[in-house]
Structure 1
């Protein structure tokens, strides 16, 4: 036996005084009554179990277990602790292994998505069609990615996902690419540039409408045009893309726009688009979500719907921003 100093029953033991691993060993000793069996079950050495028991005896001020011909017999104090400690360990184990469920068919969840006006035009019609088939009572609202506190809103869970080219979302976020996007030159049908082979000189001489969308990555394209030495005659600047189709359809202005936006606008507004005469970078359009909600079932379900509906390639990968290792879907 180890020399045990009786614990002062008036003293309050705090949880930070207790190594929970000791309680796990205590629980298994109650069940198995043999140090060797507990050591084998927990992947420990017998001296390791004996040392843990010694620490627990000193902590609780009781022998806890006595060696007998029948094995390690619990003391009356250990027997009183058996049920509450067993229940606590079972609760912890159950909580850690409880997989929350999300039932889209019965859910009335309202999801909030951060996206640009282009995202709304290109993504929302197909997304709502997909949701109508899978989750008819789920609803969607959107906020602009340009909001100053987008990071705080996502981290707090008030915005579930953000979609776009968002360089401001850095550490603490997962992201997965939906598709690569290139830019084209768009104008009305019958425009003098509505012909094969648009040149950089013709592009520069035309009258332009440009979109300055703060908080998004579209500035990369504007900077690329400037670096190419193109000096445009900019007649109109707007803060969003949603009005560009209307503007081009009734004027001789031209615009540099994402190809997917041009595809959506061509027929409704009587527009044409051509390969851009300036070598512009393709940009990644990603889905972003905060690491806090990476395993949230509702978030996982919505991400899957979006990826299944829009992603280029079934095996697109997701990654934590700042990490090198890709996390496979």
Structure 2
């Protein structure tokens, strides 16, 4: 298909359907009528020879072809938007806006205290909200500009996104002080005999750790499974359970909850915690400033 064969407004409708998944919401967002959105979709279906979106009880679900097309369309529209809106000087002290960052509950524990303090000092008019990776369609929300940044282990954010490594960390064993494993080094046998708390963190790459432990031939006695990390400190404080967690989280939980952590007996790879942003906001002065703040606070190679 040639560029002359398609109207830019059609791509705008397509991109908004990727995000909203409902014709009525797209019409409201773009200031169009629902028949106008439906007619645009019908025209694109004829042009591309694909249904693009299938109507389901959950909304308009994109076809595999539409999913494939979404990355390129989102990136292209972002570049056009930036080209048509040259940036002016950004003054954080006078800025009044809301910022949304995607992060896990680990991120909220590790990143938010220092980040909120920096915002209070440099940008008192900026308010911050966080969203969980598993709750929103993070890629679509960032393409639409509804989520400004994301921090974490997020292998799903590839095409159309920039990323910057903040730091690498290892996984450790975390448990209460005085636990039977409270010694300088624990063996695989020690680890296998213990009872375990396992955290399933959907929408992140942390789930691969459980697979690696199984591949190592370790048969754990899993006594409790939870969907997030925020309760780990409370649970370990009053039990004999052991949890496998990222070291940064262990550092933040150890003192407040009376916990100890040691090197993991299973050889697990270190994980990279990255900062992500969409191409659409790459040249935004406000986004550049915010990214700079995050890098300055948390990047292990920041200068």
Please, what TM-score do these two structures have when normalized by structure 2? 0.71
| Aligned residue runs from structure 1 range 195-274, under 5 A | 195-274=183-262
Runs of 5+ unmatched residues, structure 2? 5-82
Q: 2:109 aligns with which of 121, 127, 134?
A: 121
Give the distance between the partners of 2:271 and 2:210, measured in 1 at CA: 13
Give the distance between the partners of 2:109 and 2:88, measured in 1 at CA: 33
Q: Which of structures 1 and 2 has the larger relative contact order (alpha carbons within 8 angstroms, sep 6+)?
A: 2
**Count of aligned positions:** 222
Give the distance between the partners of 2:263 and 2:108, measured in 1 at CA: 24
Give the distance between the partners of 1:270 and 1:285, measured in 2 at CA: 26
Partner of 1:177: 165
State the Cα distance separating 1:109 from its structure 2 match.
1.2
Deviations 1:152-192 (A, max 9, x none): 10000000001000011120000000100111000001111
Partner of 2:278: 290
Give the distance between the partners of 1:235 and 1:270, measured in 2 at CA: 21
| Pairing 1:154–2:174 present | no
Give the distance between the partners of 1:222 and 1:247, measured in 2 at CA: 19
Give the distance between the partners of 1:290 and 1:98, measured in 2 at CA: 17
C-alpha distance 105-148 of structure 1, shift in aligned 2 (>3 A): closer
Give the distance between the partners of 2:126 and 2:138, measured in 1 at CA: 23
Runs of 4+ that moved beyond 4 A:
95-98
1:176 is paired with a residue of what secondary structure? strand
Partner of 2:93: 105
State the Cα distance separating 1:257 from its structure 2 match.
0.4
Aligned CA-pair RMSD: 1.5
Whichever of the two has the greater Rg, that structure is 1
Q: 2:298 aligns with which of 298, 302, 310?
A: 310
1:105 is paired with a residue of what secondary structure? helix
Query: In the alignment, is the contact (CA less than 8 A) between 2:87 and 2:284 conserved in 1?
Result: no
Partner of 1:188: 176
Give the distance between the partners of 2:121 and 2:193, measured in 1 at CA: 49
State the Cα distance separating 1:101 from its structure 2 match.
2.3
